[in-house]
C-alpha cells in the first residue's frame, strides 16, 4: 500500500495550474503574433517608401536631364512668322531634343509631355516623333517613312502636374526679380522651367527647377 508521501509525489497538475499555464501561453502567442504583424507592416512600409523614392528619382532625373537639353531652334510658320520649338502650358510641354544614337539611330526628335486618362487614373506620358522643322507644312518623305515610337508612361496614378516658365534676363539665383508664367509661346527659351508633381493619394513632390543648358 502506498504511503501518504508517495501519493503526494505521484499527483499531477491541478486544474487551476493548467488554466494559468494555458492563459500565459495564450498571452505569449498574442504578443508574438502582434510583434510579427508589426514587423511585416514596417517592412511593407519601408518597401513602399523605397519604391516611391526610386520612382521620384527616375522621373525627376529624366525630366532634369532631358528638358534641360532642349534645343533653341526657330521654326518657320506658314504665315511667314517664327515660332519656338519649345512651347507649353500648365499641364503639357513640347520641345526638341536629341535622341540617343542607340534608339532609332538618334537624331532630332520632338518630345511632348502630356497627361492622359487611363481608366479612373491620370498618367504622365511622353510622345516622341521625328523632328520636322515646319509642322504646318506637308511632312517630308523621310518623316513619313519613319515609324513613330509608342508613347511611354513616365508616371502612373498622377494627381496633377503643373509647369511654369521663368522669363526675364536676370540670373536664376535672383529669380524673385523675374516672373513665372503658366504658359510659354515665345520664340526664345525660358530661363528655367519648374515642374510640380502631385501623385494620386500622396504628398506633393518637392518642386523641380530645371535650368536650360542652352538659350537663344
| The pLDDT value given to residue 41 | 65
107-118 and 93-99 as β-strands: parallel, antiparallel, unpaired?
antiparallel
Is the pLDDT at 2 greater than 90, yes or no? no
Assigned C-alpha cell, 56: 521620384
When mean pLDDT is compared over 15-19, 75-79, 170-174, the highest value belongs to 15-19
State the cell numbers at 49.
Answer: 517608401
- With a cut of 70, say whether residue 153 has pLDDT above it: yes
21 confidence band (pLDDT: 50, 70, 90): confident
DSSP symbol at 174: G
pTM over the 0.75 mark: no
Tell me if 89 sits within 8 A of 113, measured CB to CB: no
DSSP run (H or E) holding 130: strand 121-130
DSSP state at residue 80: S
Query: Is the CB of residue 184 less than 8 Å from the CB of residue 166?
Result: no
Residue 115: per-residue pLDDT? 94
Question: Rounded to an integer, what distance in angstroms lies between the CA atom of residue 55 and that of residue 49?
Answer: 10
Q: Is 137 helix (H, G, I), strand (E, B) or coil?
A: coil
Find the DSSP H helices in 79-206: 141-145
| Rounded mean pLDDT, 150-161 | 89
Select the more confidently predicted residue: 146 or 42.
42
User: Do the strands 93-99 and 121-130 form a parallel or antiparallel pair, or are they unpaired?
Assistant: unpaired
What residues contact residue 109 under an 8 Å CB cut-off, 6+ apart? 96, 97, 98, 99, 128, 129, 130, 131
Q: Nearest-CA neighbor of 172 among 190, 196, 197, 186?
A: 190
Q: At residue 145, does pLDDT exceed 60?
A: no
Lookup result for grid cell 511667314: 80
Amino acid at each position: 500500500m502506498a504511503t501518504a508521501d508517495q501519493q503526494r509525489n505521484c499527483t499531477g497538475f491541478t486544474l487551476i495550474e493548467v488554466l494559468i499555464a494555458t492563459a500565459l501561453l495564450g498571452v505569449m502567442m498574442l504578443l508574438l503574433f502582434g510583434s510579427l504583424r508589426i514587423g511585416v507592416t514596417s517592412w511593407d512600409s519601408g518597401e513602399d517608401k523605397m519604391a516611391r523614392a526610386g520612382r521620384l528619382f527616375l522621373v525627376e532625373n529624366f525630366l532634369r536631364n532631358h528638358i534641360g537639353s532642349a534645343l533653341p531652334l526657330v521654326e518657320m510658320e506658314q504665315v511667314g512668322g517664327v515660332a519656338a520649338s519649345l512651347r507649353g502650358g500648365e499641364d503639357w510641354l513640347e520641345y526638341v531634343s536629341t535622341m540617343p544614337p542607340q534608339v532609332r539611330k538618334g537624331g532630332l526628335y520632338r518630345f511632348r509631355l502630356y497627361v492622359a486618362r487611363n481608366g479612373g487614373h491620370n498618367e504622365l506620358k511622353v510622345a516622341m516623333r521625328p523632328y520636322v522643322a515646319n509642322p504646318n507644312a506637308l511632312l517630308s518623305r523621310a518623316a513619313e517613312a519613319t515609324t513613330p515610337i509608342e508613347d511611354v508612361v513616365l508616371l502612373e496614378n498622377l494627381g496633377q502636374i503643373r509647369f511654369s516658365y521663368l522669363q526675364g534676363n536676370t540670373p536664376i539665383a535672383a529669380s524673385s526679380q523675374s516672373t513665372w508664367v503658366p504658359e510659354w509661346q515665345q520664340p526664345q527659351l525660358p530661363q528655367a522651367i519648374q515642374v510640380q508633381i502631385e501623385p494620386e493619394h500622396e504628398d506633393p513632390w518637392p518642386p523641380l527647377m530645371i535650368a536650360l543648358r542652352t538659350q537663344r
